[in-house]
Amino acid sequence: MPKLFLIPVINVLDVHDAAVREWLSGLDDAALKEHLGYPFKLERFFPESARFALINGNKVHDEILSLFNNIDPQAVFLNISTDFYELENKYNKRLISPHEFWLEYYENISNDISEPARTLYRIYLNEIIYKNIRLIESKERLPLNVLFYGLNMRSRDELIPVYEEVFNLVEEFTLQIARAVNEIMNLREKPKRLWHSSFNATRVGISYEETEKFYDELLIRLKRLLKYKTRDYFVKSLLEHAKIYVESHEKFLDHKIREDEIKFSNITECMKILGSQIELSEIVILCEPVDYTAIFNCLKNNMDPALSGFSMQEISLTGLFEKMKPFIQKNRIMRCNYEIAMDILGREIPKKFTGPGAILVPKISWC
């Protein structure tokens, strides 16, 4: 029976894509022309926090490759839009190499970048893809098949405003909480490096925050203050902000849960294709960390006949999640702030928002 593995990933190429896009957006024509004259080691011009995100993105990537070496998958599922089925077919028919596969993917999603910035983008991404020769391969071999299960681009585009709204409001709500707490007692910890990219053509927003100690202290102090006489003060100070955030977060969760259902349906259809075409011993599904719990739960408990011929495997992901922490800190804050907001409003979290689809960060990642 084929073994099935689910691995959360931060795609190192998406981090580079986001970083170079942000940098290019701030350049005028004269600066672009100057960099095209010597288009090497461009990352040294990126903001410091973005450079740290790239460094740590490479560490996450190395951890993922070590898992691939142990598993050696013959098929890999990627959260890439099903709209790119032609690219999927090219790889599976061995018409292109892995290097050409990724080059073509990022070429397809960079058509929103105008020249001459796009030329500089191509030069930079080509160098990064060449350096990261192994992306979905083990040491021994390439996967026989790649399968795309992501949302179509139109559906994803409709979700972007919802995601951007909640990402902006969680920052505002955190700021208001910190101000309120700081009026009662001074916070010792401070946020360190923060870098957030917008949802660009890849439809992926990269978040990198070295704020764990700061947020831990903020959370502990606020929860303590909400239990004592100061509760009325905090409820009064944060009530309106809590209402706005809860509305946005629940809207986001509604969309995310529907998105998870579509992705899992696509995964199931891909499983049917694999089951009918080839015999495999090991299969890997790569997913975004925010989707890990929902997809894992579906794979574990789903009774669809298409999944009955696969054996779900559990592997240790503690090391991977430890390296991912700065990239998933935003997701953790979103969920914790939602629980805080509901406490301030004196409301219970609706049952539909307590299930696997509403869990944005697996518990193992902050164990």
- pLDDT given for residue 204 in this prediction: 63
Range of the domain at 308: 1-367
pLDDT digits (tens, 9 = 90+) for 33-67: 999 999 989 999 999 999 999 999 999 999 999 99
**Are the C-beta atoms of 19 and 197 separated by less than 8 Å?**
yes
Whole-number mean pLDDT of the chain?
90
Residue 153's pLDDT band (boundaries 50, 70, 90)? confident
How high is the pLDDT of residue 344? Answer: 94
Provide the pLDDT confidence category of residue 138 given band limits of 50, 70 and 90. Answer: confident
Percent of the chain with pLDDT over 90: 67
CA–CA distance, 151 with 174 (Å, rounded to integer): 30
Decide if pLDDT at 160 tops 90: no
Vertex 178 angle, CA 175 and 184, to 5°? 150
Q: What's the average model confidence in pLDDT over 339-355?
A: 95
Is pLDDT at 367 greater than 50 in this prediction? no
Mean pLDDT confidence for 150-161 = 87
Q: What is the pLDDT of residues 69-125, one digit of tens each?
A: 889 888 999 999 999 999 999 999 999 998 999 999 999 999 889 999 999 999 999
pLDDT number for residue 201 = 52
What is the average pLDDT across 218-242? 90
- Phi-psi group of 78: left, alpha or beta (phi > 0 → left; psi -120 to 50 → alpha; rest → beta): beta
Exposed, middle or buried: residue 279 (CB in 10 Å: 0-12, 13-18, 19+)?
A: exposed
> How many domains is the chain partitioned into structurally?
1
Mean pLDDT of 208-237: 91
pLDDT-derived band at 239 (thresholds 50, 70, 90) equals: very high
- Give the confidence band of 308 by pLDDT, cuts at 50, 70, 90: confident
Instruction: Indicate the burial class of 186 (C-beta count within 10 angstroms; 0-12, 13-18, 19 or more).
Output: exposed
Structure confidence at residue 303 (pLDDT): 67
Q: Does the pLDDT at position 161 exceed 50?
A: yes
pLDDT in tens, 172-207: 999 999 999 988 888 888 888 899 887 765 556 799
Q: What is the pTM of this model?
A: 0.92
264-285 pLDDT tens trace: 999 999 888 887 666 778 999 9
pLDDT over 90 (residue 257): yes
Q: CA 218, 220, 221 angle in degrees (round to 5)?
A: 65
Question: With helix as H, strand as E and coil as C, how does the chain read?
Answer: CCEEEEEECCCHHHHHHHHHHHHHHCCCHHHHHHHHHCCCCHHHHCCHHHHHHHHHHHHHHHHHHHHHHHHCCCEEEEEEEHHHHHHHHHHHCCCCCHHHHHHHHHHHCCCCCCCCHHHHHHHHHHHHHHHCCCCCCCCCCCCCEEEEEECCHHHHHHHHHHHHHHHHHHHHHHHHHHHHHHHHCCCCCCCCCEEECCCCCCCCCCEEECCHHHHHHHHHHHHHHCCCCCHHHHHHHHHHHHHHHHHHHHHHHHHHHHHHHHHHHHHHHHHHHHHHHCCCCEEEEEECHHHHHHHHHHHHHCCCHHHCCCEECCCCCHHHHHHHHHHHHHHHHHHHHHHHHHHHHCCCCCHHHCCHHHCCCCHHHHC
